[in-house]
Structure 1
Amino acid sequence: MDLNNLHAIITGGGSGLGAATARALAARGANVTLVDFNIEAARAVAEEIGGLALRCDVASSDEAEAAFAAAEAKNGKARVLVNCAGIAPAKKILSKAGVMPLVEFRRAVEVNLIGSFNMLRLFAEAAATLDPLDTGERGVAINTASIAGFEGQIGQTAYAASKGGIIALTLPAARELAPLGIRVMAIAPGIFETAMLKGLPEAAQQSLGASVPFPSRLGQPAEYARLVLSILDNPMLNGETIRLDGALRMAPK
């Protein structure tokens, strides 16, 4: 897909995987809209790459619809959606502190799974009305899963369930949108150097990186962005979740 002057929407674009993806797409000539709950972070990246920043809770239908309308008014209908917005709660079902509050499980599913679907449905609605490109594509949507969706660790029930839902969503969504020329993919990152991990002590970061078979280090957000570009460039990639984890398989804890 030739990204020059195409409109791309990135959720969670203010930091980490989303920010790296926004920079990579902008470098390829795309007009980028960064959607993030943290509007100040999104504005900082948008100013850097000449993009548009919008505040949005991706789990809210009203806020997502408003964000899509504002993005379309500025940049036209989007050909690319990359969903990087998400939260990573860590809590046991039952611990010494008591039972996990249901609201915490629900919020993880709302942001990570429902939020991704919310943005996907609105993207598909708009992209379906676009003329097909030379490849026959009208658009490409990429959701962010996690290797926790395959082998979640103790304390990751909410996170793993939400990411597992994204994995399960990918194929049926791709099948449904295929007649419209819209591809749907997912990336399942392993342990990446995001803001959450950067807050850990250096020794802890090195220990986590050493658990990766090869390369034995934390993944870099730019490597996630490179995979996004590869997916966009290859029209045969559709309906699949790609692990990006250096062959890591998560232990129980």
Structure 2
Amino acid sequence: MNIQGHAALVTGGGSGLGEATARELARLGAKVAVLDVNLANAEKVAAEINGIACQCDITNTDSLQAAIAKAAAAHGPARILMNIAGIGSAKRVVAKDGTPAPLEDFARVINVNLIGTYNASRLFAAECAKLSPLVDGERGVMLFTASVAAFDGQVGQQAYSASKGGLVGMTLPMARDLAQHGIRVCTIAPGLFATPLMRQLPEPVQASLAASIPFPPRLGKPSEFAELACHIVTNTHLNGEVIRLDGALRMAPR
């Protein structure tokens, strides 16, 4: 699909990988709606890329439907969905004092990262399936954002790894399910990236993490994630695939 002129939704578009992807889509001519739970962040990014900001909680159907409707009123129905919103967590199953990890923490991560992504995807797909087909019968494309933790989860990453592993497992059946509607589905599993969250760590810690990446021995650039995300949109034969973007990194147990 040619990105130029098409409407795109980017969840988590107010910062980090989502912001970079929103900016790259806009650079390539898309009409971008920046969906984020943080309205101030969304408005800042949207203003700079001539897009539209939509405050949105991906775990709340009413919130999502309102955001999708607002974006469609401004830009027309979306053909591109970038699912990038997500949260992290690190809890040992059994704490040092012998107490079990709180179930609420596990449920919260699954709810946002996995169920929230599915929620956005099903609502987008239902609207996208109504659109007229383009070249090759394509109507739209959606991206999931997993993580190398889906494969190499570290100590304490049970919730995060399970949520990202769920996205990996959902990729192929979602692509097969939506093939009848001409909607493609792919997933990127990024490694260690220089996001705002990563930059909050002390410099020595960042340097140590970067050194663990075989090549190039540096943190990934959000722009590199964005470039791959946009390539998936333009390469129509990419479908049902999970792509690791990690410089050959394989995470150690801790």
TM > 0.5:
yes
Task: Using the aligned pairs only, state the percent identity.
Answer: 55
Task: Give the letter for the 1:199 counterpart.
Answer: Q
**Structure 2 equivalent of residue 189 of structure 1:** 190
1-structure distance, mates of 2:120, 2:8: 12
Matching of residues 1-253 of structure 1 within 5 Å:
1-97=1-97, 98-253=99-254
1-structure distance, mates of 2:230, 2:31: 15
Over 3 Å off, 4+ runs: none
May I ask how many residue pairs the two structures share in their alignment?
253
Once the two structures are TM-superposed, the CA of residue 93 in structure 1 deviates from its matched residue by: 1.2
Gapped regions of structure 2 (runs ≥ 5) = none
Deviates more, 1:49-58 or 1:130-139: 130-139
3-state SS of 1:150 partner: helix
Task: Give the letter for the 1:30 counterpart.
Answer: A
Task: Give the letter for the 1:248 counterpart.
Answer: L
1-structure distance, mates of 2:243, 2:112: 21
Task: Give the letter for the 2:73 counterpart.
Answer: A
Once the two structures are TM-superposed, the CA of residue 108 in structure 1 deviates from its matched residue by: 0.2
Deviates more, 1:234-243 or 1:98-107: 98-107
1-structure distance, mates of 2:32, 2:100: 42
Query: Would the aligned equivalents of 2:216 and 2:247 in 1 still touch at CA under 8 Å?
Result: yes
2-structure distance, mates of 1:61, 1:168: 23
TM-score (norm 2): 0.98
1-structure distance, mates of 2:156, 2:194: 20
Deviates more, 1:190-199 or 1:92-101: 92-101
Once the two structures are TM-superposed, the CA of residue 2 in structure 1 deviates from its matched residue by: 1.4
1-structure distance, mates of 2:208, 2:15: 23
Query: Would the aligned equivalents of 2:16 and 2:196 in 1 still touch at CA under 8 Å?
Result: yes
